[in-house]
Amino acid sequence: MLLQRYIIFVVLSLTVQGVLGQDGWSVSYRHVRICALKGSSVDMPCTYSYPNDNTVETTFWFVEKTVDLAETPEYKGRVEYRGNKEHDCTLRVRGLRESDSKTYFFRFITNRDQYYGQGGSTLSVTDLQVEVNPATVTEGQSVTLTCRTTCTLSGSPAFICVRYAPKSTSVSVSPSGEIVEGGSVTLTCSSNANPPVQRYTWFKNSRAITSWRGSGQSYTIKDIKPSDSGEYYCEAVNGVGSGSSHSKHLNVQYAPKSTSVSVSPSGEIVEGGSVTLTCSSNANPPVQRYTWFKNSRAITSWRGSEQSYTIKDIKPSDSGEYYCEAVNRIGERLSPHILLNVQYPPKSTSVSVSPSGEIVEGGSVTLTCSSNANPPVQRYTWFKNSRAIPSWRGSEQSYTIKDIKPSDSGEYYCEAVNGVGSGLSHSKHLNVQYAPKSTSVSVSPSGEIVEGGSVTLTCSSNANPPVQRYTWFKKNDTGVWQTGSGQSLNTSNFRSWNSGQYYCEAENKHGVHNSTALSITTKGERSLMVAICASAGITALVTLVLVAVTVWMCKRKKGGTPRARERGADTQACPNPDNDTYTALNLNDVSSDYDTLTACPNPDNDTYTALNRNDVSSDYDTLTSLRNAPASVYH
């Protein structure tokens, strides 16, 4: 059979010592000498007394120095004062060690004085040595066990104490219930052992907790964290052996943390696609509800509390700052914001013109292309009348036309391009306005104009806006005057006196422009003009000869006439009726195109005329007669 070890624990009271002080002060130790077994517990009975007018305030036991055993490191946790503050002063010491063999004294302090009992109780701690006889036995044989000690143990009273390794070792958790992050938890290791457990070791997830310093029965975790979750157990050790507890699961609960939003698919988000936002969070217990927010407002169109939020057929208006809130019964946590940037091709593309209002020839005009696009427009192309403008170099948003011309009028539009696509604007009509130009007169019927016939003159002009007023003018040998208004000038019974040079004036709000003059004559009048022009050439030649002769004759005269002397050397020579040949000039036949003179000799006219060049008009460089003669002036 197996040999078991037995320990006999005996306490022997040798004497009873009473210490009586004066005036009612006393301490009485029931046992002067005590013998106890190592590892056991011992009680030291004691009584004390004091005068009635005193009140006990402090009681304690000490050895060697007057220091409370309960505060001494080698006794701390092993001594227990079982008395009171009246008369009982019994002390219990547990887990006796051989070093506890000393004399123990009791001391008390009242409100008036203090006192301690001399003599004390002397404790001797011994270990058992067991002798087995016979030394070797087999199952079924008798055996004699003899216990030997270093001090004498009394046989009365006596009991048998069996030494054994820790058993029924277990872990308890305080406080019980849910363990929430930030709280404090104490694990306590309990074990049945004899002798009592000398050392405890704590384990987490099968590894000794190295951060724990000590060998105590309890392990406290302050400000507990999720990382403290795990399987905990303890090991109890005494002089016989050790025993381990079952594991105790420590589940630290906490509010959601590390909450974040992910986007799928990753990369660029293009209008019309589908996007799923997923809320992730670390929580214990797991997240019970998710709430989605856009631009700091809960998304009311989203019904549910799911972890994912899907946007189908995504639009630019879906762009914004998104985040989620994760909630469990411990608390809640918001995720950081994530920007959803929906890209789309240029849209709402349009052309604006600056300056606004009328565009007048010679000014400067800037066309600006505007477009809503994401990413921003990378390139602009300008078109006129459905063709790209080749003279425009660049890809800028604006196109400027300086010194604008009528030929710049047309339909303009732009094309905006980004990395997603392109968009065209509507056409913008550019209408360049200008004063009348290329004004001309046409006659109907064409060809020869018959005396008494009908003649229509039409004025044509290129103008924008169109000509607002036409004015007709006629000029001939007698002057210039207005003859009518309107685009056409009609004469139903055209006569020779209607002949002349006609021109028109076209006017709009930007200016006026005159046509060149058109000479209008009847058929008979044209034949006469041919004859006149032929004779005019001969007459002009004769006139030049006569003028030269006259000048030569005037220089021959020594003094000349008094009038000539008064006018000086620059005065034209005057004919002398006594010496010269006399000629009359008829200015009625002067050509309107050249404003020259045509000599018309009249042998029947004996009135002689001299022309003075000093009276020539500076505007037209024509001649003025000095006295009435068949000569006229036309401007």
Q: Are 208 and 244 in contact (CB under 8 A)?
A: no
Q: Which CATH number fits domain 164-250: 3.40.50.150, 2.60.40.10, 3.40.50.300, 3.10.20.600?
A: 2.60.40.10
Q: In terms of CATH, what superfamily is 253-340?
A: Immunoglobulins (2.60.40.10)
Measured distance between the N- and C-terminal CA atoms of the chain, rounded to whole angstroms: 167
Residue boundaries of the structural domains of the chain: 6-126, 164-250, 253-340, 343-429, 433-521, 525-615
pLDDT at 577 over 50: no
Enter the tokens of residue 252.
Answer: 């630290």
What average pLDDT does range 347-361 have in this prediction?
A: 94
Q: Assess whether the region 164-250 and the region 343-429 belong to the same CATH fold.
A: yes
CATH of 6-126, one of 3.40.640.10, 2.60.40.10, 3.90.930.60, 2.60.40.420: 2.60.40.10
pLDDT tens digit sequence for 472-522: 999 977 889 999 999 999 988 888 888 889 999 999 999 999 999 998 887
Q: Over 50: is that where the pLDDT of 599 sits?
A: no
Q: Is the pLDDT of residue 162 over 90?
A: no
Token pair for 75: 């006794």
Does pTM top 0.75 for this prediction?
no
The answer on pLDDT for 590 being more than 70 is no
pLDDT averaged over the chain?
A: 81
Distance, CA of 329 to CA of 371 (rounded, Å):
50
State mean pLDDT over 54-59. Answer: 93
Q: pLDDT tens for residues 245-289?
A: 999 999 999 999 999 999 999 999 999 999 999 999 999 999 999
List the single range of 19-33, 188-202, 228-242 with lowest mean pLDDT. 19-33
Helix (H, G, I), strand (E, B) or coil at 191: strand
Question: In sequence order, what are the residues at sequence separation of 6 or more whose Cβ sits closer than 8 angstroms to the Cβ of residue 181?
Answer: 224, 225, 226, 252, 253, 254, 255, 330
Cβ proximity of 423 and 416 under 8 Å: yes
Predicted pLDDT at 412: 96
In words, the CATH class of domain 343-429 is mainly beta
Residues of the chain with pLDDT > 70, as a percent, come to 77
**What is the pLDDT at residue 487?**
94
DSSP code at position 434: E
Q: Report pLDDT digits (tens) over 91-147.
A: 999 999 999 999 999 999 999 999 999 999 999 998 877 777 777 766 677 877 777
Mind listing the pLDDT tens digit for each residue in 291-347? 999 999 999 877 667 899 999 999 999 999 999 999 999 999 999 999 999 999 999
What integer pLDDT is reported at residue 138 of this predicted model? 66
What CATH number matches the domain at 433-521, 2.60.40.10, 3.30.200.20, 1.10.10.10, 3.90.930.12? Answer: 2.60.40.10
Cα–Cα dist 30/50, whole Å? 18
Q: 393-408 burial, b for 16+ CB within 10 Å, e for fewer?
A: eeeeeebebeebeeeb
The Cβ-side half-sphere exposure at 591, using a 13 Å CA radius, reads 17
Calpha distance 467→508 (Å, rounded): 5
Confidence class for position 433, pLDDT limits 50, 70, 90: very high
> For residue 132, what pLDDT is reported?
72
- The Cα 396–Cα 394 span in angstroms is 6
Sorting pLDDT into bands at 50, 70 and 90, what band is 23? confident
